[in-house]
């Protein structure tokens, strides 16, 4: 007897609905085993990871703060992936957006610049992110170079550029030689929503992005073109859709959103530019996009869930001395299970006999 994969006659709608839940369930089981190996009580570790952050106001705000960049980046990435364009350099576009917006904040520091500074910073971040994302897109469309590799290489370049700026020209003269810019002026800071709280205006922007993504994909011709080009390239050609133009468009949108997320993060929760402003948001957003099934509402839920794992991971490190890397392992395993469960929408397993010929001969 042998287990083989077989194509379903039509996609299974039941599995399509519950596959993210199965994936999360399987990940949690795997996580329990990992906790046991590390010598921690799995039940109390899970409680610290997934329940405790939901029980106090500060952590709830922090989840929204962490989910903001994840959701914004993932909405952009989902457009790329739907169009079968593989932008995996969102981390770099995030950093470049942060750098470009910070330029204005640094230049206007200490001057009596008015309230135009923050909107201008956000615009700069989005434009810079879009332009940075267009580099791999143009290399792909014009020269046929793999956008996967070029977009990823640009992550390292952006990281080094940021490092240079905060250690060199933009370093805070009163910063005791730490690699950071000075704290941004109030006019260059994203306002918080609650007095003295952490929740900031960026979370509202993220919700608007989700709504815009849902309208674009569900209600416009462009959104339809994006989905057709990815799902049925041949049909798209017959339909006269320009695949190259869609690669450029989806890369530009996702770059702009990642850049905007970058400058919001710097001008909001962080408050200044420094290395390490992102705990890998650009890469985690890839998981968010897939866990959310490349659907805007799904991405919103998935973004909140992965933000929960960031907060839970930090609390587990403090409370139970569980290494922070467990969070990354968790995210990697989760993506595996999500992809595996999604495969069962289109395929099913069947047991077959390994030697059918011998059996018929014996009869």
Partner 1 sequence: MELVEAIILSVLAASTPLLLAATGELVTERSGVLNLGVEGMMIVGAACGFGAAWLSGSIIFGAFCGVVAGILMSLIFALMALGLAVNQVATGLALTILGIGLSGLIGAGFVGERITPAPHLYIPGLTDIPLAGRILFGEDAFVYLSIALVVGVWWFLYRTRAGLILRACGDNHVSAHALGYPVLRIRLYAVMFGGACAGLAGAYLPLAYTPFFIPGMTAGRGWIALALTVFASWRPARLVVGAYLFGAVTILQLHAQGAGIGIPSQFMSSLPYLATIIVLVLLSRARTGGSTAPAALGTVFVPDR
Binding site for partner 1 (CB under 8 A): 4-7, 86, 88, 135, 139, 143-146, 148-150, 152-154, 156-157, 160-161, 163-164, 167-168, 283, 286-287, 290, 323-333, 335-336, 339-340, 342-344, 346-347, 352
Residue 328 CB, nearest distance to partner 1 (Å)? 3
**What is the DSSP annotation of 128-139?**
HHHHHHHHHHHH
Q: How far apart are the C-alpha atoms of 334 and 219, rounded to whole Å?
A: 31
Q: Which is nearer to partner 1, 245 or 343 (CB)?
A: 343
Residue 12 CB, nearest distance to partner 1 (Å)? 14
Residue tagged 């700026």 (tokens): 165
Q: How far apart are the C-alpha atoms of 193 and 43, rounded to whole Å?
A: 35
Q: Which is nearer to partner 1, 5 or 204 (CB)?
A: 5
- Residue 218 tokens read as 């569900």
Q: Which is nearer to partner 1, 134 or 149 (CB)?
A: 149
Q: How far apart are the C-alpha atoms of 104 and 354, rounded to whole Å?
A: 68
Q: Which is nearer to partner 1, 226 or 264 (CB)?
A: 226
Residue 296 CB, nearest distance to partner 1 (Å)? 19
DSSP code of residue 10: S
Residue 73 CB, nearest distance to partner 1 (Å)? 14
Q: Which is nearer to partner 1, 92 or 269 (CB)?
A: 92
Residue 6 CB, nearest distance to partner 1 (Å)? 8
Residue 348 three-state SS = strand
**Alpha helices (runs of H) in the chain, residue ranges in sequence order:** 13-37, 42-46, 57-82, 90-107, 117-143, 147-167, 202-219, 221-231, 233-238, 243-265, 281-291, 296-320, 325-346, 356-362
């Amino acid at each position: 007897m042998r287990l083989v994969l077989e194509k379903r006659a039509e996609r299974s709608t039941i599995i399509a609905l519950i596959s993210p839940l199965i994936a999360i369930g399987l990940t949690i089981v795997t996580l329990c085993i990992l906790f046991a190996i590390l010598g921690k009580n799995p039940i109390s570790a899970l409680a610290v990871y997934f329940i405790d952050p939901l029980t106090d106001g500060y952590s709830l705000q922090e989840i929204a703060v962490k989910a903001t960049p994840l959701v914004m980046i993932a909405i952009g990435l989902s457009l790329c992936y739907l169009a079968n364009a593989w932008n995996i350099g969102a981390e770099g576009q995030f950093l470049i957006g942060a750098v470009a917006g910070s330029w204005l904040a640094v230049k206007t520091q200490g001057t009596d610049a008015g309230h135009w500074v923050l909107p201008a910073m956000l615009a700069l971040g989005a434009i810079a992110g879009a332009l940075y994302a267009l580099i791999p897109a143009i290399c792909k469309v014009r020269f046929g170079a793999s956008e996967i590799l070029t977009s990823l290489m640009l992550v390292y370049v952006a990281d080094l550029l940021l490092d240079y700026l905060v250690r060199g020209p933009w370093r805070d003269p009163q910063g005791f030689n730490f690699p950071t810019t000075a704290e941004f002026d109030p006019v260059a800071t994203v306002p918080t929503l609650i007095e003295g709280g952490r929740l900031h205006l960026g979370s509202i922007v993220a919700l608007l992005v989700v709504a815009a993504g849902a309208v674009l994909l569900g209600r416009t011709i462009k959104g339809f073109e994006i989905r057709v080009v990815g799902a049925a390239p041949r049909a798209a050609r017959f339909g006269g859709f320009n695949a190259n133009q869609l690669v450029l468009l989806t890369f530009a949108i996702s770059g702009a959103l990642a850049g905007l997320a970058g400058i919001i993060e710097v001008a909001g929760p962080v408050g200044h530019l420094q290395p390490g402003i992102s705990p890998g948001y650009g890469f985690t957003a890839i998981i968010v996009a897939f866990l959310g099934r490349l659907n805007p509402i799904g991405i919103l839920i998935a973004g909140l869930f992965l933000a929960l794992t960031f907060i839970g991971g930090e609390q587990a490190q403090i409370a139970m001395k569980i290494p922070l890397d467990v969070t990354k392992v968790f995210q990697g395993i989760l993506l595996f299970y999500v992809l595996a469960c999604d495969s069962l929408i289109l395929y099913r397993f069947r047991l077959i006999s390994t030697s059918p010929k011998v059996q018929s001969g014996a009869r």
